[in-house]
Structure 1
């Protein structure tokens, strides 16, 4: 029914805006279990499979070529590595152990279920690894770089949310295990108080966005995208991972991290603009997915639960090795699996003063997510016998 790029863009932006309006306006408990992301992906799937919107549109290619690199740059601008080292200390090492659990757990789970997954299942695992190391933005970026089929992206979105339903309550409930966990890890008794004091010293970026801020952000994002595209076109392709698309994602990620060390980090509005673009990009991927590909959902989900269990074991090992408290360990896992959306929620439930630390951890995940998720995809490709 709708064929023009303008019409498709109108539908997709309407879907994104509608579900975030519902979440903000009514705060339904449904969104605690099925957050807007899964609706933003699944509704376009239904629309395209019922003939309302097209499976192919110039808009989709335009979003991948321009929106994808721009949001990568913008979501990385806020990373503050100096503050991470100064404030979080050993806690960041626990998060990195959890990240290692994601990288190691993926090929293990993929190997166990490889015969029940499609030939491109490793690309879906790469996209999911992007989410579990960084966040939704990394999932979208890695999926774009790997040219993940929309059906595999749908499985990744589904697994991400259904695992989240189980994993988040466990992270919240872990607060009750504080005493026993401290004896297990031998954490210092005053560690949490020191973390809270350090978190109080962090400087907050202004939230007042003016017109020239948006112009600066657009210039930085488009400039980094253009430079990355030009360099990527001159680099050798090594199939199946290092294609021109993945080179571009890696280069833009590097440029975004480099810009985070400059005064550009203080430009307000970067996170909000990046998230708006991310959800629009995810909606466009849903619009290209065919329902037939979702038949592999049970195997993909079973593999994802094995995968998250391995991540959890790595987090426990990290907490024991580096002697941290349950609050830090739970936030570290949430910063991986849930990203910037979930880590502050877990922090608020455990110790509200630790929310700034949760945000810092999530931003580190943003910085690492694209690199390590592509590595994870390569490992899955190898263990799958491809």
Structure 2
């Protein structure tokens, strides 16, 4: 990825966070005004929360190509995300979560299957219509690089690194694959955030049964209303203690488990199926979700009436804005044919998702979350789930954990198919 020739105007994290905070405040304020209703009908508020930081990054007012941004992204994903999951899980209804049934799992697996075969299909198409895209890497065949995208889109960073090590792709060319990964995933994220505003129309087309999701939302909202009260300082301090105390516990056990597993040869080997379990981020998301769910079975659940999920949603929207900064719109033109290959890959993934959803009459929520649990994982699946309703964010987190578990094996399978296509149709 090429570095910007001109330094970004603002790099200080405090200033950048302030700009993002003011942008979010302006979006939420204007979206509440009648005079802006037509505008937000075309451009949903959530989409703007994502796209305005992307535009600021593209115009180099702020930038994701700095050390300071990596620090901001780390805080957003490692502190705010698990904290938001803990707060959002406090008010969850476990029975309602169970009542969602088997469809979320099926849609997640459909998304995985779409990524697994989407890469080979895109590779085969481009070997015929634009062979230079897939044969212009010398001895480092394109399939080796594309395997890293498969790892990222099914599992995450750990799975992506595993594919890089297993197939020995040239690290000097690796930046191009990261570019495809980030740009295409961010384009799909923007489209999804827009489509969420059309949720009811899409569900009509899918002939979907949305009752289990609506039942969960209603149960959580009814409970929230039943315990609603004027929050006191004691309530806020209690939430503060539970959130960051729970985060500390999650961090302690996440690092303990990850470090212990990394000392076991079967887990430490980058080529091992079990390597993903050495990711402390996986365990951080799992433990923070579990702590929140456990809290929801106690009297602490009444904190939902004091606004626990609203504070969790604030963290989620900050995360949306920080993730939005990762998108540089102009990067689409840096290596257009490789980006188009990635888009074709993503289209296959989306077609399979919609096809399976139509077949089993699954609502659009399961499409969106099933997709982002693969492509984006724990950093964005709860964001997309929470965009439908804050009470649904834990569903995204739980499905994303599945992505970490099966990511390496599924990406390996995809890579082997791409290798076969390369041998038989390209070389």
TM range (shorter): 0.5 to 0.7
TM-score by length of 1: 0.67
Q: Distance in 1 between matches of 2:213 and 2:187?
A: 35
- Structure 1 position 301 matched with structure 2 position 354: no
- Structure 1 position 152 matched with structure 2 position 171: no
Counterparts in 2 of 1:286 and 1:309: CA distance versus 1, 3 Å: closer
- Please identify the structure whose Cα radius of gyration is greater: 2
Counterparts in 2 of 1:13 and 1:146: CA distance versus 1, 3 Å: farther
- Structure 1 position 220 matched with structure 2 position 246: yes
Q: Report the equivalent of 1:249.
A: 281
Aligned residues: 339
Q: Relative to structure 2, which stretch is displaced further, 73-82 or 282-291? A: 282-291
Task: Tell me by how many angstroms 1:359 deviates.
Answer: 6.6
Runs of 4+ in 1 over 6 A off after TM superposition: 194-199, 240-246, 338-346
Counterparts in 2 of 1:344 and 1:11: CA distance versus 1, 3 Å: closer
SS of alignment partner, residue 92 of structure 1: coil
Task: Tell me by how many angstroms 1:7 deviates.
Answer: 3.3
Q: What runs of 5+ residues in structure 2 fail to find an aligned partner? A: 1-8, 127-132, 135-141, 162-176, 263-267, 373-380, 420-427
Q: Report the equivalent of 1:172.
A: 201
Show CA shifts across 1:337-370 (max 9, x none). Answer: 5867777998xxxxxxxxxxx7766532321213
Q: Is the 8 A contact 2:108 2:369 kept in 1?
A: no
Q: What runs of 5+ residues in structure 1 fail to find an aligned partner? A: 131-141, 183-190, 320-325, 347-357
CA RMSD of aligned residues (A): 4.5
Q: Report the equivalent of 1:278.
A: 319
Q: Is the 8 A contact 2:384 2:396 kept in 1?
A: no
Q: Distance in 2 between matches of 1:20 and 1:293?
A: 34
Q: Is the 8 A contact 1:84 1:92 kept in 2?
A: no
- Structure 1 position 63 matched with structure 2 position 41: no
Q: Distance in 2 between matches of 1:5 and 1:360?
A: 30
Q: Is the 8 A contact 1:155 1:300 kept in 2?
A: yes
SS of alignment partner, residue 43 of structure 2: helix
Q: Report the equivalent of 2:290.
A: 258
Q: Distance in 1 between matches of 2:78 and 2:59?
A: 27
Q: Is the 8 A contact 2:82 2:285 kept in 1?
A: yes
Q: Report the equivalent of 2:377.
A: none
Q: Is the 8 A contact 1:150 1:285 kept in 2?
A: no
